[in-house]
Structure 1
Amino acid sequence: MAAKDAIRRHKTELQDILCLDPQRILDRVFQTSDPVLITQREYRELKDINKDDVEGHVISLVDKIMDKGEDTCKRFLDLLQTDEDIKDTFPDLEKIQWNIDPTLLKRTLDDTKQTNHGGPVQGKRHKDDQDELTSTPTGLSVKNINIVNNNNIGQNNTVAHGRLQKKPRYADGDDTVAGFVHRVTDIQTSKKSCRYFNAVIQTGQEEFHRAVIFSAAKHRSFSQAANNSTPVKLSRIKKSWSTSDDTFDILVSDISFMAETTVPFIPKPPTASVNMDIAQVLKMGPKEMIGKLQARVICIKDGSHDMIKSGGEDQEIKECWISDATGQVVLRLWNSQINRIAINSCYEFSNVSTRRQTEFYLTCTKQTSITPVADLEIPHHLSMPNSVEEPLNATSGPIRFVRLTNKRCCEKCDKSQKDIDPQSVVVHRCEGCELNQRVDSYASIVSGTVMMTTSTGEVDLTVPPSPLTAYLTSGDLLHLLKDTDELEKHFLVSPSFDVVYNASNLLTKIQKTSAVAENLRALTDEPHS
């Protein structure tokens, strides 16, 4: 069987295994040379992938290897089967039956080396490819992880000046930790329908470890331990080397168990639970949590307003600039969070996360809370954003066509409900978190499209939920959210509206045109004799 065909045949199984430590396999593939498997540019692109979970990094890596052809696939398989560090880190690779003739792999590798040593080296790295590599935290995978003893952890590597260096190995058989539980998240569901949640385990006065719990049934016990500051012992867990520091993460499964215990230290919130300023935040890496941050909203970026697909759901996003006495940064808001802020107002933002794509920014999470605070002193040079915002469009006129849809969403998990009829049922079990709730407790999320007739022609606009909700709130019309037919009629019978929209034709503000403005416009539009 050809190497590329073998990878394709075992692609899902291979990706599940490599997701245990995606940064490790990416670093090791990048370090392979003579010739290189991936270039410096490809390494950076793969490392910076923005995915809902870390499987995206591994899937893209395997796809890129396959796209490079048969010879690259053979060298990749040789790395998986012969590299001692890879074999230690991913012991389950030995279970894959590749059915590849080892002599074929060796012959291909020898031919490649001979070609490269005898002539121009193909794929030779540029000088800037030798820069020191830094490992970026990519989170933990939720892919088919078996909880085993610590003797399967293997050795971890750091990359410094192009050389792999071993990290110290923890004692074999240490599959128990004791301490306090902090920051238990809600239950989440991965792309492959695996339910899990995260927490932080304090194992010393100044020692904290990330934990991923692959057992939704344990959520209640972890939450109680966190709320009551009860010291616990976790047994039959696995320690997995962290991709962001020289310690380990904790993986908990169905066979793990928790018991109360005593520890020689007192509970202390993790660093991310204390107040931080923007200067400290700007020094953090991507995908790190921030406990509390107080800042003023100095600019709302209407040009960034957009509707995207995330987790299979339509999501509304909008960005703003926030500032404190030490700096300024962009914050991304989602869905109902958009209407919770106002320009020049000050807030405490808790449980936000850092991100980096082309630029560094913050994003709200499902656990984020936004609380108004007293006015903050902001230096003059930080009271305006350090970038120019996109220009917006404004127009007025009647709405000629309208189509609105009402989506019922669980306020606990944000899952939209497909099977819910508020006219015939009183309670409904959420299709996401599976909590049984009153039907009227589900949020009504209304969005759609309109076509307006203006003085310059007709314009089609996308109407997201937040400006529509803001309009109805200001006019004491929120009751119309429950009846889209009546809401559509309201827009069609009203004489005229003033709207603002961005370059994507997404409506950002809407209000009724005043009677004075309508009369002035009528006079202006009348033909002169």
Structure 2
Amino acid sequence: MAIPSKKAKTGDETVVGHLHSVSPIKTSRQNARYFEAMLQTGREEYNRVVCFASEKRTQFLQAAENSQAVKLVGTRKGVSYSNPGGYDILVSSHSRLDVAGDLSFPRRVPRDTDRMTIAEVLALGPRQRVGVIEVRVLQATASKVVQVQGTPVELKSFEVCDQTAQTGVTVWDRLIPLVQEGNCYRFETLTTRKEGDRTVLCTTLSTVITITTTEVGQPASLRPVTARADETVRGPVTGVQIVAKPRCRRCHAGQENLLIKLSTHRCERCAILQHTAAYMVSYSGVLIVIGRDGEERSMTLTNSAVLTYVKDHSLSSSALDVSALEETVIATPELEVTVNHDGMVVRFAALDGEAVAVQSGQGNVVLDTEEASTSYAVGGDFEGVAELLYED
């Protein structure tokens, strides 16, 4: 008896509107390629479009750039978790994009791509997107590394404000070195989550952080925040262990067999052949220093601390050669280490400002040490944060 072939899911919904914010091609955890967009279906109504036919992106992009009203034919409507009052529009290879005539409502850019204030953020619920916001960083409040299925995830929380209000922002691995207390920054593409009764911000894979040239003000009164001060330890290094974890930029899978002597490497999950230099790397490890009191201090190395050390000492050519990095650290006569109350290294550097560079024996491949990621949910005080990081 012949087995009937499986039919692709098709839809019979037709929706019209204005397209906005067409995303780059993304890869899901199931290795499906897709892109997203926003469809304005009313004067102030917006619905997310998820298209699983990546070849249609050029057509979507042209319609958005030309401000053309469109008709999406053969789509399906799905439950929206980011917009409880709306729905997601699911587009497949069987769907069709046609040019529509004049609509009864004007084209308007979605609010979440506009600049927002912290007061407006506090009025939002969880899992809402914030397009652009400018803030002043008041202080760091928490720093944590959570082991999730063997992968270290570093998270750091800051209190931030503008002229309207104050809230918190959680920054993840690759972006942590970009944020310093006392500076003003422009954050693009954030998401929200609830921390008790307060709405706070969280970075995502698409977040861009730039320092602002203009000062950001602060409200008339600030919410008091208690945070234990960091400690500075100075002395010679007696031991160091650095672990480097390469990850695929496309599917974020860890790589166990990447050889930096080779110019290319095939991802061990999505099987895409890529230049070795295109893989991201994140760090963890242990640093042991003799303090002024003569006692050894064993401290946990964080990804952001090693990234900063590699960048400040021009060691990116040895980014994955952990032996060369370890030799460079231990050959330094004396280190200045900033460590928090949990024993995590926030920053470390040679006291004289120069590290003794050790020649890498693994060639000259320079990997991207500015990005590191994981796609798992984490527990404890950061429950649900990692999920938000990957909601682009």
With normalisation by structure 1, the TM-score equals 0.57
Counterpart for residue 367 of structure 1: 206
8 Å contact 2:28–2:251 — kept in the other structure? no
As a proportion of its length, which structure holds more strand? 2
- Report deviation, 1:287: 0.3
Using a 3 Å threshold, how does the CA distance of structure 1 residues 417 and 262 change in structure 2: closer, same or farther? Answer: farther
Using a 3 Å threshold, how does the CA distance of structure 1 residues 254 and 360 change in structure 2: closer, same or farther? Answer: same
SS of corresponding position for 2:130: strand
Counterpart for residue 95 of structure 2: 256
Of structures 1 and 2, the one scoring higher in RCO (CA 8 A, sep 6+) is: 2
- Report deviation, 1:484: 1.9
| 2:45 is the alignment partner of 1:207 | yes
Write the distance in 1 (CA, Å) between the matches of 2:161 and 2:60. 35
Counterpart for residue 54 of structure 1: none
Write the distance in 2 (CA, Å) between the matches of 1:184 and 1:432. 27
User: What are the residue-to-residue correspondences of 1:110-129 with 2, within 5 Å?
Assistant: none
Please tell me whether Structure 1 or Structure 2 has the larger radius of gyration of its CA atoms.
Answer: 1
Write the distance in 2 (CA, Å) between the matches of 1:380 and 1:276. 15
| 2:121 is the alignment partner of 1:281 | yes
- Report deviation, 1:235: 1.5
Counterpart for residue 363 of structure 2: none
Counterpart for residue 390 of structure 2: none
- Report deviation, 1:412: 5.9
SS of corresponding position for 2:154: strand
Counterpart for residue 401 of structure 1: 239
SS of corresponding position for 1:236: strand
Write the distance in 2 (CA, Å) between the matches of 1:245 and 1:476. 48
Aligned residues: 341
SS of corresponding position for 1:262: coil
Q: Identify which of 274, 277, 299 aligns with 1:440.
A: 277
Q: Identify which of 321, 324, 347 aligns with 2:162.
A: 324
Which deviates the most, 465-474 or 193-202? Answer: 193-202
Paired residue type of 2:321: D
Counterpart for residue 378 of structure 1: 217
SS of corresponding position for 2:309: helix
Counterpart for residue 357 of structure 2: none
| 2:135 is the alignment partner of 1:295 | yes
Gaps of 5+ in 2: 1-7, 354-392
Write the distance in 2 (CA, Å) between the matches of 1:207 and 1:464. 43
Write the distance in 1 (CA, Å) between the matches of 2:277 and 2:259. 11
Q: Identify which of 282, 295, 306 aligns with 1:468.
A: 306
Write the distance in 1 (CA, Å) between the matches of 2:218 and 2:337. 34
| Aligned residues: CA RMSD | 3.2
With normalisation by structure 2, the TM-score equals 0.75
Counterpart for residue 356 of structure 2: none
Q: Identify which of 3, 12, 15 aligns with 1:177.
A: 15
Paired residue type of 2:140: I
- Report deviation, 1:353: 0.6
Paired residue type of 2:37: A
- Report deviation, 1:491: 1.8
Counterpart for residue 179 of structure 2: 341
Post-superposition CA distance 1:475-520 (Å, at most 9, x none): 44444425321211122222332222223321112123459xxxxx
8 Å contact 1:198–1:210 — kept in the other structure? yes
Write the distance in 2 (CA, Å) between the matches of 1:423 and 1:514. 32
8 Å contact 2:134–2:187 — kept in the other structure? yes
Post-superposition CA distance 1:200-229 (Å, at most 9, x none): 111234321123334455455444544454
- Report deviation, 1:255: 3.1
Write the distance in 1 (CA, Å) between the matches of 2:77 and 2:300. 48
- Report deviation, 1:261: 3.4
- Report deviation, 1:351: 0.9
Counterpart for residue 520 of structure 1: none
Write the distance in 2 (CA, Å) between the matches of 1:223 and 1:433. 26
Write the distance in 2 (CA, Å) between the matches of 1:399 and 1:408. 26
SS of corresponding position for 1:332: strand
As a proportion of its length, which structure holds more helix? 1
- Report deviation, 1:368: 1.1
Gaps of 5+ in 1: 1-144, 150-174, 516-529
Write the distance in 1 (CA, Å) between the matches of 2:223 and 2:327. 40
Write the distance in 2 (CA, Å) between the matches of 1:309 and 1:266. 49
| 2:62 is the alignment partner of 1:187 | no
SS of corresponding position for 1:486: helix
Write the distance in 1 (CA, Å) between the matches of 2:68 and 2:260. 42
Percent identity over paired residues: 27
SS of corresponding position for 1:275: coil
- Report deviation, 1:289: 0.4
Paired residue type of 1:259: D
Paired residue type of 1:279: A
8 Å contact 2:189–2:207 — kept in the other structure? yes
- Report deviation, 1:321: 1.7
8 Å contact 1:299–1:385 — kept in the other structure? no
Using a 3 Å threshold, how does the CA distance of structure 1 residues 177 and 430 change in structure 2: closer, same or farther? Answer: farther
